[in-house]
Structure 1
């Protein structure tokens, strides 16, 4: 296939047939779902690992006649199986943290706009403080404070992401505060929770929706970075970031495949999410359709 054809498939807009990023992202999600069914082994089950087959190059036929298509790492774990199981953790952590982070941020931003006064001041000063710091620094502080564990890295990523949603939601909600439908809701003495969640929030989330796919890609990259540094997903759980880190020490000995293939899988996942997210943003944002 010519390079021009590949580029055309990659850039094909949503709504005009399948594009390469959508196909790739769909393939990643499918592989993550069926990983236990197609993987040669559970790479984090000691009973399924053969230590004498450690650092086997791609294409090696191991015990039982199975071929290690992408080779094995320094502990004898099948690289392909590690990638499949790592996809599950990376996607679950990222999707969960992005969804909860968006909900928390949108609620905080709308509440700041609705209540105003000291509530607005407190929430927005926290938002300003967090957004003034590098994202990786906030994540490192959060994960060091919370400690290791999948649930804790999800919480750390929520802490990283909520502030961006809060600022966007507050800006939109401020323009909705004095509209007739909210005046009518207040005159009817509806509960504040109902006014916020049933009326104000649904009318303030449209700009934030376009941000969610982009933030999902950022969450995948940040989780991988923390896991690479040994501060993310525990070493007894699969992750693309920790899989790359496991082979880093072997690069100088020529065992490139231990880090290369998980790194390529991670790059493809982040790239496909970002391109699909950009397509979604362009469809939902009228100002970008003509660009």
Structure 2
């Protein structure tokens, strides 16, 4: 009797806890989409930035007739506005890079499983080589080679992430190639591109879907790390990572708010994405469901 009651008692609590990161993530997305309407200041517009108000503490009245609730940074930008606009860049960079990396990795992994022979060997040796290195190291080498910029950091994150999807897709596709519907496709002598993109690839996507939310959170952390090191989004662009980097030099002077508040926003974004991604994986992966 206990084994039947305990799961029933624990399950609602688990769902209630999961609603918190879902609400937080939804709030982040709304703030990012509505940044021009919600943000008190446009950090991109030099006409709205006043240099004499640089490094103002939280709660300082501003020239524009509103309070700097979270203070201003060393350039005179409102920290709250920088966070709201920074969410847009962080989410666009992470979602775009994760989606394209998933597409490239899935195609490479499925192609390796289907063609086998030297194609499989070449792709998987490249995957093994990349996965043997820390992801941040791969991203650093890529961004140093490509140079700074939003488009280039997206490309660097794609290079750093595609191999994870490729390995997963290959393992799933290998099991799919031995199923009856694949034998039927071969007997019908369908063109190879049609077999791969109409039959094999769609049936190999499901495990990758559970990986994408986790990789989005990973991409947010990578972008923030690269921007903090001065190799990602330029410091005059308000991404969360560059906002933390811009305020870091002022910490020793007691201006904690310049890095603290963007850092807390970054932590909340990564944590909410990871928790929601874990819930997506738990729901879609039958092996993680409780018996």
Q: Would the TM-score normalized by the shorter structure come out above 0.5?
A: yes
How far apart, in 2, do the equivalents of 1:223 and 1:13 lie? Answer: 31
Q: Deviations over 1:2-50 (max 9, x none)?
A: xxxxxxxxx9545x69710000000000000000111121112222100
**Is residue 2:66 matched to residue 1:66?**
yes
Q: CA deviation at 1:178?
A: 2.3
Aligned partner of 2:238 in structure 1 is 238
Aligned partner of 2:3 in structure 1 is none
Q: CA deviation at 1:87?
A: 0.1
TM-score normalised by L of structure 2: 0.93
Aligned partner of 2:167 in structure 1 is 167
How far apart, in 2, do the equivalents of 1:99 and 1:186 lie? Answer: 30
Aligned partner of 2:28 in structure 1 is 28
Residues 54 and 72, structure 2, Cα contact 8 Å, conserved in 1:
yes
Residues 213 and 274, structure 1, Cα contact 8 Å, conserved in 2:
yes
How far apart, in 1, do the equivalents of 2:55 and 2:248 lie? Answer: 13
Q: Deviations over 1:260-283 (max 9, x none)?
A: 000000000000000001111111
Comparing 169-178 and 127-136, the one that deviates more: 169-178
Aligned partner of 2:42 in structure 1 is 42
How far apart, in 1, do the equivalents of 2:227 and 2:102 lie? Answer: 23
Residues 21 and 276, structure 2, Cα contact 8 Å, conserved in 1:
yes
Comparing 102-111 and 57-66, the one that deviates more: 57-66
3-state DSSP class of the match of 2:203? coil
Q: CA deviation at 1:193?
A: 1.1
How far apart, in 2, do the equivalents of 1:55 and 1:267 lie? Answer: 23
Q: CA deviation at 1:259?
A: 0.3
Please list every run of 5 or more consecutive structure 1 residues that lacks an aligned counterpart in the other structure.
1-10
3-state DSSP class of the match of 1:202? helix
Aligned partner of 1:100 in structure 2 is 100
Q: Deviations over 1:58-103 (max 9, x none)?
A: 0111103211110001111000000000000000000000001011
**Alpha carbons of 1:273 and 1:58: their partners in 2 closer, same or farther (altered >3 Å)?**
same
1:72-111 aligned within 5 A: 72-111=72-111
Residue-pair matches, total: 280
3-state DSSP class of the match of 1:136? helix
TM-score normalised by L of structure 1: 0.93
Residues 12 and 19, structure 1, Cα contact 8 Å, conserved in 2:
no
How far apart, in 2, do the equivalents of 1:169 and 1:13 lie? Answer: 30
RMSD: 1.4
1:113-262 aligned within 5 A: 113-262=113-262
Aligned partner of 2:288 in structure 1 is 288
Residues 93 and 150, structure 1, Cα contact 8 Å, conserved in 2:
yes
How far apart, in 2, do the equivalents of 1:64 and 1:179 lie? Answer: 67
Aligned partner of 2:5 in structure 1 is none
Comparing 232-241 and 107-116, the one that deviates more: 232-241
3-state DSSP class of the match of 2:162? helix
3-state DSSP class of the match of 1:77? coil
Please list every run of 5 or more consecutive structure 2 residues that lacks an aligned counterpart in the other structure.
1-11
The structure with the largest helix share of the pair is 2
